[in-house]
Amino acid sequence: MKMRTRFAPSPTGYMHIGNLRTALYCYLIAKHDHGDFILRIEDTDQQREVEGAIDLIYQVMEETGLHYDEGPDIDGGVGPYIQSQRLDIYHEYAQKLIDLGGAHYCFCEGELEGEDPCLHLSQQEIQDKLDAGISHVIRQTIPTTGTTSFDDEVYGHIEVENKTLNEGILIKSDGYPTYNFANVIDDHLMNISHVVRGNEYLSSTPKYNLIYKTFDWEIPTYIHLPPVNKDETHKLSKRNGDASYQDLKEKGYLKEAIINYIALLGWSPADEEILSLDDLIAQFNIEHISKSPAIFDIDKLNWMNGMYLREMPLNQFHELLLPYYHSITRKVDLLELSKVLQPRLEKLSDVEESIDFINQAHPFDASIYTHKKMKTNPENSLEALELVKERIADFDDFNNDEAMTEFFVNLAKEKELKNGRIMWPVRVALTNKSFTPGGAVEIAHILGKEETLRRIDQAIIDLQNVIQ
């Protein structure tokens, strides 16, 4: 039997990280074995559906490269692939399940405690209530004796006593199925061989298996995934506004880095952690899926995203940054700016803060000139800047970093000073920042000779005013 997995999101908002992780694992499990990956939209909870959410699902799947073989817009012969378009199918199988003794009509209002009294209604009483138009649901009929067991590929053998299972609703009073019923019917009719979903469904799986057994259908292979937590005790939650794919994209993370990182939230590769989608397909195996909750570590994602940015060809990285340079009004060497940023940037949203000195230096702050490691202070920084001003006026090779570095090094050597005694004051004079993308040489290159000299002049005036 060909492996077939399905991703079945609800169109209730953004693509939550846990949902995307499930989609990714479904995709990788199928593609590792040359199987089919199916997209199914589970929109039976009409009250929670968000307008435009289905289009968002399509967009995320396309952007991340998780291309499905069958779905609402790719018919594989077992559709429709949107549950609200399958209501007749659910009602047909609900009636069959009633006939087989696996479900029953229930006319009770609210939640049930204990045995459902509607179990004891005669066929005539049921028909009379249906004919009278009394609101009703269809509930699963659970055996009161015996046990139901199943084997999960991650959590192993699980067995429960039937008497502990509640008789959940399969068809709601509005005619829509619950997940507990629709997922079983759809998975069977769509020939899903491996069901991949969160471990919150472990406790419900015995009830699903009772439906499979009542119909005498083959039970799929189960792969339940550990939760993705934001800390040791709290799960990431779409309802709580936790991270979504869209949030991460807006914060400047690359889709490749997001997918790579999410793959590691509950699965461990053999060695390398930086893996393309093709690498993940080749390496992914169910045996390395963890039982323990995965912690979403934003620092690890930052590191990984930075690795992806650094591995890009400079021209590609530069093109990526150009939209972030629109705020720059001064004529500067933008390619040189990208060259300086590439080894230092972790995410694209950091660009704005990194380049905020370009149009003009930050307000003067004498304290920044004091640097313990560089052995600088406002007084000796003033001396260094006056020296640089005197000598650099005759230096014209601002586009040659090697030559400019040699200029500063030779100047420090001549005065028997450490390089930092010259370069740190220049870096501060050009930016008035403690942390900059690049040092004195790179920043002077970016700003050019005229602006470099103007800022050094201003720094000298500011320092003189403070020291006097």
Give me the residues paired with residue 195 across strands: 222
Strands, DSSP E only, in 316-440?
none
The pLDDT of residue 202: 96
Which one from 96, 235, 238, 449 is the annotated catalytic residue? 238
Strand-strand pairing, 4-7 and 36-39? parallel
The pLDDT of residue 187: 98
- Cis amide bond preceding 437, omega within 30: no
**CA terminus-to-terminus distance, the chain:** 86
Give me the residues paired with residue 171 across strands: 138, 177
The pLDDT of residue 402: 94
| Element at 246 (helix H, strand E) | helix 245-250
SS3 content of the chain, % helix, strand, coil (to 5): 50, 10, 40
| Element at 150 (helix H, strand E) | strand 147-152
For residue 331, indicate whether it is catalytic: no
Q: For residue 327, give every residue at least 6 positions away whose Cβ sits within 8 Å of its Cβ, in sequence order, or none.
A: 352, 355, 359
Residue 300 tokens, joined: 């690890």
- Name the CA radius of gyration of the chain, rounded: 32
Give me the residues paired with residue 371 across strands: 376
For residue 82, the SS3 value is strand
Q: Which residue has the tokens 């720059």?
A: 328
The pLDDT of residue 240: 55
Along the 468 residues of the chain, how does pLDDT read in single tens digits? 799 999 999 988 788 899 999 999 999 999 999 999 999 999 987 777 778 889 999 999 999 999 999 999 999 999 999 999 999 999 999 999 999 999 999 999 777 877 899 999 999 999 999 999 999 999 999 999 999 999 999 999 999 999 999 999 999 999 999 999 999 999 999 999 999 999 999 999 999 999 999 999 999 999 999 999 877 666 766 555 557 899 999 999 999 999 999 999 999 998 899 999 999 999 999 999 999 999 999 999 999 999 999 999 999 999 999 999 999 999 998 999 999 999 999 999 999 999 999 999 999 999 999 999 999 999 999 999 999 999 998 899 999 999 999 999 999 999 999 999 999 999 999 999 999 999 999 999 999 999 999 999 999 999 999 987
Angstrom distance (rounded) from CA 388 to CA 428:
13
Angstrom distance (rounded) from CA 129 to CA 413:
100
Angstrom distance (rounded) from CA 159 to CA 5:
24
